[in-house]
Chains A and B, each alone.
Chain A
């Protein structure tokens, strides 16, 4: 069925290190992908997006990589900080319009 999956449910990193969160998607027709950060008690917060005509996009301390050949998405966070501790979700936009399909989420824990 439809799914966007994450390889690692939990990730623990040292403060100052770089973090990489991975995501596999199944719908080859998806053409838009988003990464969200969800802190405890809050809704998902938009981090960065990428369209299928790109393979890399950079933001402030974050980079998203898209590999359409293997249907893989990753989020790289540079110089990870304690404030980055949260659950991170990838999501894909389907051809059905409007509907986002979310991965199960990866919990990022940053050790001081």
Chain B
């Protein structure tokens, strides 16, 4: 069974640009989660999608947005990039939107802002 896959592996942008990160969940999983792992800050929850809808959002500005497609894959979009957005962006998936289900992670997209 294929795990969560993310693309690209690395992404280099400059301040003010826009970035799009992609995630394919484990087959059969309907929930997709995005987290930011910045140096020294641990993993911070960004967004949760299930069945195509945004279910919950972390404490991040509106320039962080995303969507989930009918095949349950997801995109994370970050507009007006700032230097502090440099981080590893991790996607996770789980079988359904109920609680008590482990989230399984991909290996992330390393976003570097120059």
Spell out A's residues near B (CB within 8 Å). 31-32, 34, 36, 41-46, 49, 51, 89, 91, 93, 96-105
Contact = CB atoms under 8 A, between A and B. Distances in A.
A91 B96 CA distance: 18
B107 A102 contact: no
Contact of A98 (B55, B104, B105, B106): B55
A51 to B, nearest CB: 6
Contacts of A36: 105
Contact of B48 (A45, A99, A105): A99
Interface residues of B, number: 25
Interface string B90-114: 1010000101101111111000000
Given A97-B55, A98-B31, A98-B56, A42 B45 contact: no
Contacts of A100: 33, 35, 43, 45, 103
A5 B33 CA distance: 22
Contacts of B75: none
Interface of B: 4, 31, 33, 35, 42-45, 48, 50, 55-56, 58, 90, 92, 97, 99-100, 102-108
B99 A32 contact: yes
Contacts of B42: 89, 102-105
A104 B42 CA distance: 5
Which has the most chain A C-beta neighbours within 10 Å: B33, B48, B103? B103
Nearest to A4: B42
A34 B102 CA distance: 7
A97 B48 contact: yes
26 contacts: A32-B99, A32-B100, A34-B103, A41-B107, A42-B107, A43-B90, A43-B105, A43-B106, A44-B43, A44-B105, A46-B102, A46-B103, A46-B105, A49-B100, A49-B102, A51-B100, A91-B43, A97-B99, A99-B33, A99-B58, A100-B35, A101-B45, A102-B42, A102-B43, A103-B42, A104-B42
